[in-house]
């Protein structure tokens, strides 16, 4: 099998100063660009692009690793393990796909996998050109580790949003695993980990739990279940959190006794996502803590 070696160059073809790649250009030979566009670069080459100093022989990251923009990679509440990385530690997704733009894709290196079922590592937006590839966005992503789906979505004012959806499977957790989505806007070629404020609740990480279920016993002793299924709707100028909520009676086969559809705007104000209170919390409090 032919080995594909990337050429690390300090400059690329002349471009406007405001449109330079955020990282030094990472190029492959032009006659191999089409092959690379199909994501056939070897895993160790991708890892070397995302983490400069990656040892392709031992497949280990350097001490005090940095991303290709020389920003330190420091996971929250953890240290990065000294373990060999595998092909499974890479995840790919889709970037902007427009007729007049060069092809783009997202690449995520999962340097750390936690007991809570999440992973951490650099994520990059790669743009392909006739000469090879350029890094057009970079950041550190902390997202579900299992069955992750990465996609870049347009926002208002020519901004873009990285959405990382996947399953968060803690150790020894039986299936199905909780599904969640992590939101990271792209600003000045940086994926930013902004916070989310819902109603009057304290700020928290901008991640949405997509599916929740709570089983309890109703006032007559009948088993009951509250379920919610959320999704992010990005079709309008202001994103929306859409949800379907069901209260179900479950003596044998669960049947709906209440079904609600909800929609809440999700606005990006400065460096914070802001949304109204989640109605799931009020329903949960009402039906599981009915009081005397």
* Domain chopping of the chain, boundaries: 1-192, 194-292
Q: If 0-12 CB within 10 Å is exposed, 13-18 middle and 19+ buried, where does residue 256 land?
A: exposed
**Joined tokens for residue 111:** 């340097």
Please report the pLDDT score of residue 284 as a whole number: 82
Please report the pLDDT score of residue 41 as a whole number: 83
Please report the pLDDT score of residue 145 as a whole number: 93
Residue-wise pLDDT for 263-276, tens only, equals 999 999 989 999 99
Strand partners, 261: 244
Q: How confident is the model at residue 226 (pLDDT cuts 50, 70, 90)?
A: confident
Strand partners, 109: 90
Q: How confident is the model at residue 6 (pLDDT cuts 50, 70, 90)?
A: very low
Question: What are phi and psi for residue 208, nearest 5 degrees?
Answer: -110, 125
**Joined tokens for residue 34:** 């089409």
Q: How far apart are CA 206 and CA 257, in angstroms?
A: 32
Q: How far apart are CA 189 and CA 15, in angstroms?
A: 16
Neighbouring residues of 54: CB distance < 8 A, sequence distance ≥ 6: 44, 47, 48, 60, 61, 62, 85
How many other CB atoms sit within 10 Å of the CB of residue 287?
17
- pTM for this model (two decimals): 0.84
Beta strands (DSSP E) in 130-209 are 132-144, 146-154, 160-167, 179-187, 190-191, 195-198, 204-205, 207-209
**Joined tokens for residue 219:** 């006032």
Cα Rg for the chain, rounded, in angstroms?
A: 22
């Amino acid at each position: 099998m032919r080995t594909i070696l990337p050429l690390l160059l300090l400059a690329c073809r002349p471009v406007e100063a405001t449109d330079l790649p955020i990282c030094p250009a990472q190029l492959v030979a032009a006659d191999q660009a089409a092959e690379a566009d199909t994501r056939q670069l070897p895993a160790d080459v991708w890892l070397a692009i995302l983490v400069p100093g990656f040892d392709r022989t031992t497949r280990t990251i350097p001490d005090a690793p940095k991303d290709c923009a020389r920003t330190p990679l420091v996971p929250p509440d953890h240290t990065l393990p000294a373990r060999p990385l595998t092909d499974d530690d890479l995840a790919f997704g889709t970037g902007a796909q427009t007729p007049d733009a060069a092809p783009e894709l997202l690449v995520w290196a999962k340097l750390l996998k936690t007991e809570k079922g999440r992973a951490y590592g650099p994520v990059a937006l790669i743009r392909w050109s006739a000469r090879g590839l350029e890094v057009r966005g970079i950041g550190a992503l902390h997202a579900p580790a299992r069955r992750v789906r990465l996609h870049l979505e347009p926002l208002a004012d020519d901004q873009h949003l990285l959405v990382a959806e996947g399953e968060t499977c803690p150790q020894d957790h039986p299936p199905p695993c909780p599904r969640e989505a992590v939101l990271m806007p792209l600003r000045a070629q940086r994926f930013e980990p902004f916070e989310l404020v819902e109603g009057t609740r304290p700020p928290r990480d901008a991640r949405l739990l997509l599916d929740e279920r709570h089983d309890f016993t109703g006032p007559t002793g009948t088993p009951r279940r509250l379920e919610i299924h959320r999704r992010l709707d990005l079709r309008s100028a202001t994103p929306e959190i859409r949800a379907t909520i069901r209260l179900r009676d479950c003596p044998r086969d669960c049947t709906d006794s209440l079904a609600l559809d909800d929609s809440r705007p999700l606005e990006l104000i400065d460096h914070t996502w802001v949304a109204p209170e989640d109605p799931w919390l009020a329903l949960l409090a009402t039906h599981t803590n009915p009081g005397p």
